[in-house]
Structure 1
């Protein structure tokens, strides 16, 4: 495999640096062991040769000693062991076993062939067939003549036998001298081999490891100094060759990246600027939609901002009604002809209606759609169009479109932004609808409370006046002046009470909290009661809890006003006590010392309609509990309790 194509591909075993180092080590170790082994062999041969010289020298001495012993007629017990010893020494020299008699244990060495071996055989032959025969004949014969003759023959052949031994010693000494020379040469060669091996190892380590590492260090140093044209030569196919190839590829990549860095920075900057524009547009449109605007104003501001963001030439916002019709709510850059023709569309009409069912519709160029269908926006000069849904909780409530007079490709980021803005617009429209419904519901509730107040107070007073007027007409018809005098004060009192009730109702319904200060408004309500009726009142405020939300404060104030109004009109009390405990729970208690009543009697007399039901309904709107405790002759106590979980944040 080419290292340039795959710099870190697995290498064959014979190309790896570890294989080279191992091979070099094995070769060096083999040469060293061979030299050492040959030196040991030479040393062993020299030692064995020395043993041969010693033994051969002892044979000369033994030969003369044997001759002297025979000539002096020594006994067999002295001569025969010498003969056997002579035989043993010759056998040990021939076999290389060394002296087996215990007098010398060094092994001998005689070459298995060559002059030394032949000379040793000649010495053995001379001993076996001549010298030993004569010596044994001299010992074994009893005839003195024959004994003397054997001794004479032994002594005559002794010089030649000794010369053969001397020649053997000379040949061994010459061989040992040559081996000594070879031993010295081997030792000298071993020294030079060690020096050469050391030099070779150093050279190969520099060639294989140190050199590539230094070249790579130099390349890295040059690259760190912004020399991006540096390249390393690939001089081997091993691991360092792979590293050099990878370094060159890295240098090419760095140079390429460096050359395109400015362009990439510009692209990233443009991309970042585009993202910032998207975030800015999203923030701007979201901030606008979160404001209090009418639905038409919301749609108009929304359309203007996204048209400016995408540089569109026109646009529309359409709202879907319950019948499935799209109504043109706002428009920009659209002709009056399109407005009149498409003021109300069905969901399957044109592209704007189809988008409510199909999702996003983007037309880059109307010419690509052909002439099979008529598009009014195309006839007005639009080349591209993008239509997006207005969603609320995944429910389609409308669509908005952007028209372009030139072919326009809406990118994926722009599409995602417009889809997100469509959801925000749908939420804003839904919020405005909910606010309108809440206001409508609040107005309806207030009107209901107003109607109840008018019916339960003024209507009953007017009914009483109507009865008195009828009685007055009857008295006039009968000319009963005494009855007229009795009726006239009742009419005046009834009119005055109705006037005061109307005024009180008007004041109650016009009550507004200033700066959410419930305490001061409650004191004002108590002061008003004291001025109107002359009652003595006291208010006690305790607790360090947070203030109630403004809408809750207003309902609490209305309940207090109703309670004080009932005390003024019906209780005939002298003292009024108001206690407010604002902690985690809010509790308000209104007590009087009037004549009291029972709820059963109040229902029977219709007195419940004079404020009790109104207070109960207001308490239910608060999520609070209203308790009414009253007994005839023991006054009345009204307690309003708002638990912590029902409190709203002020």
Structure 2
């Protein structure tokens, strides 16, 4: 019995013996009938073909009599005419064709009498008729009633040939009728036999089963079917009887089984509810300490344990470090015994994890043992491993002041919950690492921006101060005045760079204000450097993700900063084409530069490197096109596939 219901025995539906199978019997009957039908139909076709050949032979032999007198008529008209010679050749061809009649028959013996008669006629034609015509030609006579005796004898021989062929065809016709009668008889016998077998092998068993099903549907649970055969219907009948027996058993024990199933269903629902509630809690936005403490509190409520703890594994130190606990005294938390892999039973589960085995929950009776936890009054201990995929993270320990009542179903649920808390712990670690990486990456970009702007400006100011000091020592006041002007301009440029960097660092975006942020950036650029900036928006593609929007704006800021510092441009045109691919183009009419030279010295141009690195963060591409005196074009391409993935 499984899940409260009995299962069918395998032998009930075992395969039927091949020789007793209904399908085998039907197949043999069909094959036999098909073979007989093919044989009789084939014989009928062969006889039809032989009759067809006989009819053609009769027509040809009959035409020879006509041709005999036709040749005599043509001879009387013109003994040496071409038409007479052509008629004689056709006569001989027809006579030669008759020589093969009756040979190669499939159903009847070959008729040698017809062949002998044809041979005789050919001899008469060559030895009697043709010499007779030659003698008439020499004597200058025509064919008439007084001299045509050879011709009449030859015509009588032709009549004899026709009768022979007709007699041969008569035998074939009689045999054809015999096969047709046999085929008709086979059809009648097959129909009668098929009806009988259909009733005996199919209709009668089905009717018997139908009667049993009807009695069962009327409430007669004692209904059974008598098994007469060992074929498929016999197997189905046996299965029906077993089904009726189980239905009777189910009906007699229905209340008990419904109660069992209801209890099992309620337990499953409770487990599902607990699992869902715990999963929802673990994946809330919270700190690791809040998550671990909340998990232990729920475990204590679920199992009725008196105390609990989560300890994470440090395989290098061979330690189990407490990350959360509830109900444990300070002496146990501070004890080195409870944190060592080799000094307590909780470490056994962790050591099995280190050995890459699959540890089960350990249920330990603490009464006879003298360990820290048993000395504090705990009686039972349950230890569960915490995993993340194949990575071993630590253990969950539940302490009981009395004997534990946790059953196997609850243990399976706790195992599943420990897997969930393992995922949550690993997610917390990944989030922390991602934050550290993002901060480090952004600091690197900030450092590059400071180097490209403030550091270079300060280096330039330092050089100008040294030159000013040298000029003052030489009392070269004009040169000193020029150096002071450079220093003033450098300080102003440094101030502008710092102000621009501060504004850039404060940039925050969402999917709703991306266009507004770009326009605000261009307006601020116009106010700072008095360069006209134009924005063109094309396409209605899906919005970029917040990370993609932020990096696009940073790349635009860096491109405009390069225009301000180096281009000496009058106009800047920004085009954003948001379709399948996202394309942003920044074009200025400034002095331009040698693009090939920039490629060979990229390490000296931090602004270009910053744009490339920010594009790499969102899997985009940045290209620069420029010629001296013809302005610069910066193009950012974000492919469709990368937009879908993000």
TM over 0.5, shorter chain: yes
Task: Flag the structure with larger Rg.
Answer: 1
- 1:145 equivalent in structure 2: none
- Equivalent of 2:527, from 513, 525, 531? 531
Using a 3 Å threshold, how does the CA distance of structure 1 residues 220 and 573 change in structure 2: closer, same or farther?
closer
1:326 is displaced (CA, Å) by 1.5
1:268 is displaced (CA, Å) by 3.2
5 Å-filtered alignment, 1:373-392, equals 374-392=370-388
* 1:518 and 2:514 aligned: yes
Contact residue 511 and residue 544 of structure 2 kept, 8 A: no
- Between the aligned partners of 1:648 and 1:311, the Cα distance in structure 2 is 48
C-alpha deviations, 1:32-80, integer Å up to 9, x for none?
xxxxxxxxxxxxxxxxxxxxxxxxxxxxxxxxxxxxxxxxxxxxxxxxx
Using a 3 Å threshold, how does the CA distance of structure 1 residues 520 and 250 change in structure 2: closer, same or farther?
closer
Backbone CA RMSD of aligned residues: 3.3
- Between the aligned partners of 1:538 and 1:461, the Cα distance in structure 2 is 29
- 2:346 equivalent in structure 1: 352
1:471 is displaced (CA, Å) by 2.2
1:442 is displaced (CA, Å) by 1.1
- Equivalent of 2:536, from 540, 564, 567? 540
- 2:325 equivalent in structure 1: 331
- Between the aligned partners of 1:421 and 1:388, the Cα distance in structure 2 is 10
- Between the aligned partners of 1:402 and 1:509, the Cα distance in structure 2 is 49
1:606 is displaced (CA, Å) by 7.9
- Between the aligned partners of 2:471 and 2:278, the Cα distance in structure 1 is 76
C-alpha deviations, 1:326-373, integer Å up to 9, x for none?
110000011111100058723333122111233234326323xx34xx
Using a 3 Å threshold, how does the CA distance of structure 1 residues 590 and 223 change in structure 2: closer, same or farther?
same
* 1:366 and 2:360 aligned: no
1:420 is displaced (CA, Å) by 1.2
- Between the aligned partners of 2:558 and 2:248, the Cα distance in structure 1 is 89
- Between the aligned partners of 2:478 and 2:333, the Cα distance in structure 1 is 78
Contact residue 360 and residue 386 of structure 1 kept, 8 A: no
Contact residue 349 and residue 395 of structure 2 kept, 8 A: yes
C-alpha deviations, 1:160-209, integer Å up to 9, x for none?
xxxxxxxxxxxxxxxxxxxxxxxxxxxxxxxxxxxxxxxxxxxxxxxxxx
* 1:292 and 2:285 aligned: yes
Using a 3 Å threshold, how does the CA distance of structure 1 residues 498 and 604 change in structure 2: closer, same or farther?
farther
Match of 1:611, SS state, is: helix
TM-score, with normalisation over the residues of structure 1? 0.59
5 Å-filtered alignment, 1:47-446, equals 253=249, 256-257=252-253, 261=255, 264-321=257-314, 323=316, 324-342=318-336, 345-358=339-352, 359-363=359-363, 365-367=365-367, 370-371=368-369, 374-446=370-442
- Between the aligned partners of 1:247 and 1:417, the Cα distance in structure 2 is 36
Match of 2:253, SS state, is: helix
- 2:559 equivalent in structure 1: 563
Using a 3 Å threshold, how does the CA distance of structure 1 residues 494 and 250 change in structure 2: closer, same or farther?
closer
Using a 3 Å threshold, how does the CA distance of structure 1 residues 607 and 533 change in structure 2: closer, same or farther?
farther
- 1:54 equivalent in structure 2: none
- Any unmatched runs of 5+ in structure 2? 1-210, 224-240, 353-358
Contact residue 382 and residue 405 of structure 1 kept, 8 A: yes
Using a 3 Å threshold, how does the CA distance of structure 1 residues 477 and 343 change in structure 2: closer, same or farther?
farther
- Equivalent of 1:466, from 458, 462, 465? 462
Contact residue 328 and residue 342 of structure 1 kept, 8 A: no
Match of 1:647, SS state, is: helix
Match of 2:623, SS state, is: strand
C-alpha deviations, 1:370-412, integer Å up to 9, x for none?
34xx322222222111111111112211111111111114322
Of stretches 265-274 and 614-623 in structure 1, the one that deviates more from structure 2 is 265-274
Using a 3 Å threshold, how does the CA distance of structure 1 residues 538 and 248 change in structure 2: closer, same or farther?
closer
1:481 is displaced (CA, Å) by 3.5
Contact residue 337 and residue 343 of structure 2 kept, 8 A: no
Contact residue 361 and residue 411 of structure 2 kept, 8 A: no
Using a 3 Å threshold, how does the CA distance of structure 1 residues 342 and 393 change in structure 2: closer, same or farther?
same
1:473 is displaced (CA, Å) by 2.6
Using a 3 Å threshold, how does the CA distance of structure 1 residues 560 and 308 change in structure 2: closer, same or farther?
same
Runs of 4+ that moved beyond 6 A = 219-224, 245-252, 603-607
- Between the aligned partners of 1:635 and 1:255, the Cα distance in structure 2 is 92
TM-score, with normalisation over the residues of structure 2? 0.59
1:435 is displaced (CA, Å) by 1.4
Contact residue 590 and residue 639 of structure 1 kept, 8 A: yes
